[in-house]
């Protein structure tokens, strides 16, 4: 039976713009495109509930279709729901491993060095490719020793001493792989007399949604909403996110796709660059030194989807000495866990080529992007250093 809350396919006027901009449809003839998989097929699925095209698996959840749709159709919701409820589940173990990031992170951060070593070994990758269908071409991001959550919790007293505080949803990448970004966030905010507090949090759930495991995603969502709501209730603080995919998932997928009630936290969630933009405008701009750096900014698909790119650009523009080129918007191809899956790894590579060409032609010192997956993908294919906007800002902080 149809879910009456999402009848946005009804608004589709068949303009085909979504399919024109779908990066997956661009590179493989095996994917019919979002118009077909979403609003067209949904009218069929209402009639025949068990119906689900096997081609649905190809959607990489980049949401560019929704970004470009002039009718406001929530295309990927239909695709995700149909995938999770009706497609036969393949590669269960692989998908479990790739989507249960908290679980994986629990072990790997305790054994970071051996984990990183093994994951980088050729034969291990071959075995993973053969038995788990994990792409041998992809380099796993390195795991850090210990978790960022611990590091931040240890600073609670210091952070509480600042003039005001924000809550920080750091996400799995900062927590398990790249503490430096978390440190940069803290450094920048501290320089603005703002302390950073970490509420209890789980993985936002986006890899679970991509794997079609909506039940588990709802569990995580529930825990996150409860924890964040509790934290916000006492303090009425903002909750800042540094990962564009995390914030998209919490702000949009939680209420729209997973049907969760986010009213307790809705008004508090902000992407870090929006938070900073508002503070800068109000006069709270940290002392910055000129950077003398040429950079190319790549806007992540998920940040485009939330309309949040404006704030990142305006924050970057306030960094003196940063010569910024805005890259024409393209999908990098990795799409979170998508490119790690062997059956999609060539597609992921092919998708990213126009972006990589653009970057090479621009020849910047660094590439800037808000998404960790984009970072891995661009680093792997261009060899350039890729930084989060906050990290660039952190670099520009004048020493006091």
Partner 1 sequence: MKHIETDILVIGGGATGTAVARDCALRGIPCVLVERTDLAAGTTGRNHGLLHSGARYAVKDFESAVECITENRILKKIARHCIEETGGLFVSLPEDDPAYHEALVQACRRADIPCREIDASTALAMEPNLNPAVTRAVTVPDATIDPFRLASANALDASERGAQILTHTRVTGFLLDQDAVAGVRCLDRCTRETFKIRAKVVINASGVWGQELCRMAGIELIMFPSKGAMVILDYRINNVVLNRCRKPADGDILVPGDTVSLIGTTSRRIAYEAISDLRVTDDEVRTLLKEGERLVPNLSRTRVLRAFCGVRPLVAASPGETHGRNITRGIVLIDHQQRDQVKNFITIAGGKLMTSRLMAEKAVNLACRKLGENRPCRTAAIPLPGSEKPISPGVRALPFSESVAQSTYYRHGQRADDILEDSDGGTGLICECEMVTSREVAYALKHLHVKDIVDLRRRTRIGMGPCQGLFCAYRSAGAFIEHRHTDGTDATKMLIDFLEERWKGIRPVLWGDTLREAEFSYWICQGIFGLGKTVASSPGRGEGVCLADEFE
Partner 2 sequence: MRMNLNNSTDYDCLIIGGGLSGLACGITCLSEGLSCAILSSGMSALHFSSGSVDLLGYFPEATVVADPFDALPRFIDMHSEHPYARCGINTIKEALSFFRQEMAKADLPLHENHSRNHFHVTALGTLKPTFFSQQSVFNQEIRSVIDRTPAITIMNIQGFRDFHPGLAAANLKRHKLFSACDIQCAEMHLPEKEKNPSPVHAMRSIDIARLFDTMDPDEIARHITAACPDGDIVGLPAVLGIEHHNAVLDRLREKTGKIIYEVPTLPPSIPGMRLDNALKSRFAAMGGVFIQRETVEKGTIADGRVTSIRTKNQNDTLTAGFYVLSTGSFFSGGLVSRFDHIEEPVFNLSLARSPEARCLGSENFFARQGHAFLSAGVITDEAFHPKTPAGETVENLFCTGAVLSGYNPVNQGCGGGVAVATGYVTGRRIVRDFYAITNQRQGYPDLP
How far apart, in whole angstroms, are the C-alpha atoms of residue 1 and residue 138? 40
Question: Quick one: 28 or 156, whose CB is closer to partner 2?
Answer: 28
Under rule CB under 8 A, residue 4 binds partner 1: yes
Of residues 266 and 343, the one with the C-beta less far from partner 1: 343
Q: Of these partners, partner 1, partner 2, none, which one is at the site of residue 46 (CB under 5 to 8 Å by kind)?
A: partner 1
Applying CB under 8 A, does 10 fall inside the site for partner 1? yes
The span from the CA of 254 to the CA of 202, in Å, is 14
- CB burial of 238-261 (b: ≥16 within 10 Å; e: otherwise) equals bbbbbbbbbbbbbbbbbbbbbebe
17 scored as a contact of partner 2 (CB under 8 A): yes
Assess 360 for contact with partner 2 (CB under 8 A): no
- CA atoms of 353 and 359, how far apart (whole Å): 10
Helix 389-396 with 309-317: angle, nearest 10 deg: 20
Binding of partner 2 by 147 (CB under 8 A): no
Indicate whether 21 belongs to the interface with partner 2 (CB under 8 A): yes
Residue 53 touching partner 1 (CB under 8 A): yes
Among the listed residues 83, 92, 33, the one whose alpha carbon sits nearest the alpha carbon of residue 57: 83
Contacts (CB under 8 A) with partner 1, residues 61-120: 71
Edge-to-edge strands of the sheet including 322-326? 322-326, 293-297, 366-368, 385-387
Question: Considering only residues 21, 22, 35, 58, which one is a binding residue for partner 1 as defined by CB under 8 A?
Answer: 35
Q: C-alpha 146: how far from its chain's center?
A: 22
- Angle at Cα 217 formed by Cα 213 and Cα 218, nearest 5°? 120
Residue 240, interface with partner 2 (CB under 8 A)? no
State which residue, 178 or 271, has the beta carbon closest to partner 2: 271
Within 13 Å and on the Cβ side, how many CA atoms surround 312?
29
Rounded to whole angstroms, the Cα distance separating 196 from 153 reads 10
Residue 6 within binding range of partner 1, rule CB under 8 A: no
Q: Quickly list H helices, 192-271.
A: 206-210, 214-235, 244-248
Q: Which stretch binds partner 2 (CB under 8 A): 78-86, 120-128, 207-215, 305-313?
A: 305-313
Among 17, 40, 280, 314, binds partner 1 (CB under 8 A): 40
Q: In the complex with partner 1, which residue's Cβ is closer, 52 or 395?
A: 52
Distance CA 119, CA 98 (A): 13
Q: By the criterion CB under 8 A, which residues form the site for partner 1?
A: 1-2, 4, 7, 9-15, 32, 35-36, 40-41, 43-48, 50-55, 71
Q: By the criterion CB under 8 A, which residues form the site for partner 2?
A: 13, 15-17, 19-21, 25-26, 28-33, 55, 66-72, 266-267, 274, 281, 304-310, 313-314, 317-318, 324, 326, 328-329
């Amino acid at each position: 039976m149809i879910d009456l809350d999402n009848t946005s396919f009804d608004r589709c006027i068949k303009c085909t713009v979504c399919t024109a901009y779908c990066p997956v449809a661009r590179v493989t003839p095996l994917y019919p495109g979002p118009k077909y998989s979403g609003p067209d097929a949904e009218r069929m699925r209402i009639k025949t509930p068990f119906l689900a095209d096997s081609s649905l698996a190809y959607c990489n959840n980049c949401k560019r279709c929704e970004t470009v749709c002039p009718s406001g159709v929530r295309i990927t919701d239909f695709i995700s729901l149909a995938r999770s409820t009706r497609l036969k589940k393949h590669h269960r173990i692989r998908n479990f491993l790739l989507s249960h990031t908290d679980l994986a992170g629990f072990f790997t951060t305790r054994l970071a060095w051996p984990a990183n070593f093994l994951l980088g070994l050729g034969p291990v990758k071959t075995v993973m490719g053969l038995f788990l269908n994990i792409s041998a071409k992809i380099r796993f991001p390195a795991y850090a020793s210990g978790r960022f959550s611990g590091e931040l919790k240890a600073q609670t007293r210091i952070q509480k001493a600042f003039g005001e505080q924000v809550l920080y949803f750091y996400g799995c990448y900062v927590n398990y792989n790249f503490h430096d970004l978390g440190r940069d966030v803290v450094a920048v905010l501290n320089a603005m007399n703002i302390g950073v507090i970490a509420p209890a949090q789980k993985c936002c759930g986006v890899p679970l949604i991509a794997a079609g495991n909506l039940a588990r995603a709802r569990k995580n969502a529930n825990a996150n909403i409860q924890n964040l709501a509790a934290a916000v209730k006492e303090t009425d603080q903002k909750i800042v996110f540094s990962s564009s995919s995390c914030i998209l998932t919490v702000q949009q997928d939680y209420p729209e796709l997973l049907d969760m009630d986010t009213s307790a936290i809705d008004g508090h969630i902000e992407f870090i660059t929006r938070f900073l933009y508002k503070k800068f405008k109000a006069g709270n701009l940290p002392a910055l030194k000129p950077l003398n750096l040429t950079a190319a900014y790549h806007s992540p698909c998920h940040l485009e989807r939330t309309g949040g790119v404006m704030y990142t650009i305006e924050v970057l523009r306030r960094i003196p000495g940063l010569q910024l080129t805005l890259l024409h918007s393209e999908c990098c191809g990795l799409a979170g866990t998508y490119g790690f899956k062997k059956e999609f790894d060539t597609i992921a590579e092919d998708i990213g080529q126009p972006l990589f060409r653009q970057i090479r032609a621009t020849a910047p010192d660094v590439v800037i992007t808000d998404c960790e997956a984009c970072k891995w993908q661009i680093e792997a294919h261009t060899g350039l250093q890729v930084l989060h906007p906050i990290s660039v800002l952190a670099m520009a902080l004048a020493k006091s």
